[in-house]
Amino acid sequence: MKILVTGAAGFIGSKLSYMLAQRGNEVIGIDNINDYYDVRMKYGRLKECGITAPDNNFEWHKVYSSSRFEHLQFIRMGIEDRPQMEALFREHSFDKVVNLAAQAGVRYSIVNPYAYLESNLQGFLVLLECCRNFQVPHLIFASSSSVYGLNQKVPYQEEDQVDNPVSLYAATKKSNELMAHCYSKLYGFAVTGLRYFTVYGPWGRPDMAPMLFTKAIRAGEPIKIFNQGNLSRDFTYIDDIVEGTIRVIDCPPVAEECPNQIAYKIYNIGCSQPVQLMDFIHELEKNLQCEAVKEYLPMQPGDVYQTYADTHKLKTDTGYQPQVSLQEGIRRFVNWYLSEDNPLK
Ligand SMILES: NC(=O)c1ccc[n+]([C@@H]2O[C@H](COP(=O)([O-])OP(=O)(O)OC[C@H]3O[C@@H](n4cnc5c(N)ncnc54)[C@H](O)[C@@H]3O)[C@@H](O)[C@H]2O)c1
């Protein structure tokens, strides 16, 4: 099975590429290696996959082969680059395309909205067109729990109304779901959208709370706690997210079993155990053996109060069952953070 993974130098994409290659799939990973956050994280993750370049100078459009996995290759390219993407799809006959490349981050979409237009909308359209024109049987793409916006009813279910996004980021993810639905209907290929819920773990994103908090706690600097800490998140460990994603890759929707006979499914993928932000911080403090200096701030624009995934649908269809508890996940994360592997320590 030949799989294209976009966003392969990213937090989720690198681990997914690793796991797919490890189980013997042929994987082509692409990423533009942008500098939204410290690129040393991206180089480090690629290195874990056996992909390196002299002085980390990855040339655009050049193919890098993994020294760790025989069937893993990496190419630096942008998903919005139509001619290059078409050439890639023409050369390879992909069985699966997994789109994890995106401009991520809720707060940054207030600062730099145009980055979201280019990667999340334009780039996504190029991918859909390539899937259509090169007869890709199954597209899997990352949506987000942020599509639930300020929904009050928990746990969030896939069938809930999601027409009230509170950030441009969330609006682009909801748009992806709509665009993919219509491509699946028009051109008949299977599509699965995954609403990821706050992912954490080793090699996590430096713009997200676990990394920001850990860095600040160790430096004795204040951590910013929004809405006076009265927030909860369905924190989900990276290995569970990747395992669930692989189950979905192996389980394409079948038109006859879907509403309106369109081979299209959306799944929540989370831990289904929301954690109060203060409990998360206490767990970090315990593992770091250091108390955080806390700066309490009002609610941030674009943020939501809580996230909580109902994952029954994913469990029923694929057998997904998250394995890693918060205590274990934070223990593993802190161990990694303090190790020599962490380029930002
Ligand atoms: N991490 C989470 O908690 C979370 C939660 C919900 C949804 N998601 C979604 O999951 C996906 C992966 O998230 P992540 O946490 O690994 O983020 P990430 O930022 O670590 O990874 C995304 C990767 O995509 C690359 N990229 C961005 N724009 C690109 C473009 N136009 N062309 C090629 N590459 C591009 C970036 O360089 C980056 O390496 C994203 O779509 C994100 O929106 C993540």
Instruction: Note the pLDDT tens digit of each residue in 232-276.
Output: 999 999 999 999 999 999 999 999 999 999 999 999 999 999 999
Ligand 1 centroid to residue 260 C-alpha, Å: 31
The answer to whether the CB of 222 falls within 8 A of the CB of 295 is yes
- In the set 18, 148, 156, 169, the catalytic residue is 169
The answer to whether the CB of 326 falls within 8 A of the CB of 234 is no
The answer to whether the CB of 97 falls within 8 A of the CB of 127 is yes
Task: Enter the tokens of residue 219.
Answer: 């430096």
Looking at ligand 1, which atom is closest to the CA of residue 198?
3
Task: Enter the tokens of residue 190.
Answer: 């299977």
The answer to whether the CB of 98 falls within 8 A of the CB of 4 is yes
Q: Which of 15, 17, 61, 144 to mutate to test the pocket of ligand 1 (most atoms within 8 A of CB)?
A: 144
pLDDT in tens, 323-338: 999 999 999 999 999 9
Looking at ligand 1, which atom is closest to the CA of residue 205?
20
Residue 199: partners with Cβ closer than 8 Å, 6 or more residues away: 11, 12, 236, 237, 238, 241
Ligand 1 centroid to residue 103 C-alpha, Å: 6
Query: Of all residues in the chain, what percent are helix, strand and coil, respectively (each to 5)?
Result: 45, 20, 40
pLDDT in tens, 8-64: 999 999 999 999 999 999 999 999 999 999 999 999 999 999 999 999 999 999 999
CA distance 104 to 108: 8
pTM of the shown model: 0.98
Is 169 one of the annotated active-site residues of the chain?
yes
